[in-house]
Amino acid sequence: MLDIVTYGHEALAKKAKPLGEFGPDIPAFVEEMYETMIKGHGIGLAAPQVNRDLRVFVTGLDGDKLRVFINPEIVATSPEEADYEEGCLSLPGLYTHLTRPAIVKIQAWNEKGRPFTLEADGLLARVILHENDHLDGVLFIDRLNPSKRDRALAQYLRKSRM
Ligand code: NI
């Protein structure tokens, strides 16, 4: 089980590096990411959240298989947007409504080094966009307008100190 870092940790605020080589350690790392996400009751987890400087994230929605996205690139997003309440394992206890594109097309590699392209909508699209943001050092609260962001952050910091 990997340790999840929370808001304020530098790993959450920087652009992660692409995975250069699909070494033999990658499938085991991906397994650890899955375990950590599941134990944390999350539906997505990005490598920077476990303090690994890699462009890797995993998803695990109810009713969907576990998915890994290595060196992902967002190919396209829909002009239509959707509203969901988001949370993040690195900001425990904080949930806010956020608008993002409703559909996303993404290209990535799996743990065996095989490339794939996926078009997702609904909650999977939402999780992909949220986790992909982590690889660029962007948190979901950074997508709020400044006054909403400040309010959400103040609420989180108040709670996390209790
Ligand atoms: Ni998150």
DSSP readout, 27-54?
A: HHHHHHHHHHHHHTT-SEEEGGGGT--S
pLDDT of residue 1: 84
Could you tell me which CATH number the domain at 10-161 has? 3.90.45.10
Is 131 known to be catalytic?
A: yes
pLDDT of residue 162: 65
- The answer to pTM > 0.75 is yes
pLDDT of residue 161: 77
Whole-number Å distance, alpha carbon 139 to ligand 1 midpoint, is 6
Whole-number Å distance, alpha carbon 17 to ligand 1 midpoint, is 18
pLDDT of residue 159: 85
Q: Does residue 31 come out as left (phi exceeding 0), alpha (psi in the -120 to 50 range) or beta? A: alpha
**pLDDT tens, position by position, for the chain (162 residues)?**
899 999 999 999 999 999 998 888 999 999 999 999 999 999 999 999 999 999 999 999 999 999 999 999 999 999 999 999 999 999 999 999 999 999 999 999 999 999 999 999 999 999 999 999 999 999 999 999 999 999 999 999 998 876
Residue of 31, 81, 119, 131 marked active site: 131
Whole-number Å distance, alpha carbon 45 to ligand 1 midpoint, is 6
pLDDT of residue 160: 82
Pull the structure tokens for residue 23: 């070494």
The percent helix, strand, coil of the chain (3-state, each to 5) is 35, 25, 40
Residue with tokens 């539906």: 43
Pull the structure tokens for residue 46: 């990005």
Q: Residue 34 and residue 152: Cα distance in Å, rounded?
A: 28
